[in-house]
Amino acid sequence: MRELLPISLLGGILGLDVVTFPQSMISRPLVAGTVAGAFVGDATTGVLVGATLELIALATLPFGASRYPEWGSSAVVGGAIAAALHTGRAGALTIGVLAALATAWVSGWSLVKLRQWNAWLARRKRPALDAGARGTVIGLQLAGLTADFVRAALLTAIAYGLLFPVAHATVGVWSFGDHVSRAVVVTISGAVAAAAAWTIFHSARHARWYFAAGLAGGLLLLFAR
């Protein structure tokens, strides 16, 4: 558990990127899972978890005030857990992805709470805002940024601290083989990605033919190798 502090800080930084700063998408699961894996010493496992989660995250469109899972800190938890368990052990990838999804659920809820807290704070500062106080405007912004970082870091610490022992014990009694376990997880995540791609792009003219052409190309490449 020596990795808890760096992992929590990483979760804080990547969780911050989701909405508040700088939204450069370092919080995407593909990035967050890989970096977390590298932190624990196994970027290869991290990128496997990240890619699997990225397929699932394709269905999440962060439109305006909609509620969605927060992938930054959750992918850190999933990538770090799977990497710490090592990819050679059957079930490590599955458990990493499962841990990330469970964390994303709680983390999405915590984002809603943060937004409510931001509104409460702004209401309290209303007189100063109505007087055009620049310090209050800047203060509210900094308070929101700090709270978001603390939220994401704490959530990562709690999730990793609670889930890693459970994950370790689960992998110890895992009964399916590694390839079958990976196959089940990627079937689910790939199906979610394919359905999401259809939902998002099908309204564009000829998009289905572009998808079919890409699919044919991908399959040809696979069978040629």
Q: Give the footprint of another protein on residues 122-161 (CB under 8 A).
A: 122-123, 129-134, 137-138, 140-145, 148
Q: Which is nearer to another protein, 2 or 22 (CB)?
A: 22
Comparing CB distances to another protein, the nearer of 90 and 157 is 90
Q: Give the residue from 182, 207, 185 showing the smallest Cα distance to 197.
A: 207
Structure tokens at 176: 């399916």
- Nearest distance in Å: CB 63, another protein: 5
Question: Position 203: which residue type?
Answer: S
* Residues between 184 and 213 with contacts to another protein, criterion CB under 8 A: 184-201, 203-208, 210-213
Q: Does 84 bind another protein (CB under 8 A)?
A: no
Task: Establish whether the linkage from the previous residue to 22 is cis, with ω within 30° of 0.
Answer: yes
Number of residues near another protein (by CB under 8 A): 113
2-10, 151-159, 183-191 -> range binding another protein (CB under 8 A) = 183-191
Q: Tokens 């990127």 appear where?
A: 17
Structure tokens at 24: 């450069």
Site membership for another protein, residue 47 (CB under 8 A)? yes
Q: Which residue has the tokens 């590694």?
A: 178
- Judged by CB under 8 A, does residue 40 bind another protein? no
Region label for 132, one of left (φ > 0), alpha (ψ between -120 and 50) or beta (otherwise): left
Q: DSSP assignment, residue 60?
A: -
DSSP state of 91: T
Place of tokens 């979760």: 11
Ranges within 95-114 binding another protein (CB under 8 A): 95, 97-98, 101-102, 104-105
Cβ proximity to another protein: between 147 and 158 the closer is 147
Asked if 182 touches another protein (CB under 8 A), the answer is yes
Site residues for another protein, 13-32, by CB under 8 A, read 19-26, 28, 30-31
Count CB neighbours of 173 within 10 A: 7
Q: How far is the CB of 159 from another protein (least distance, A)?
A: 14
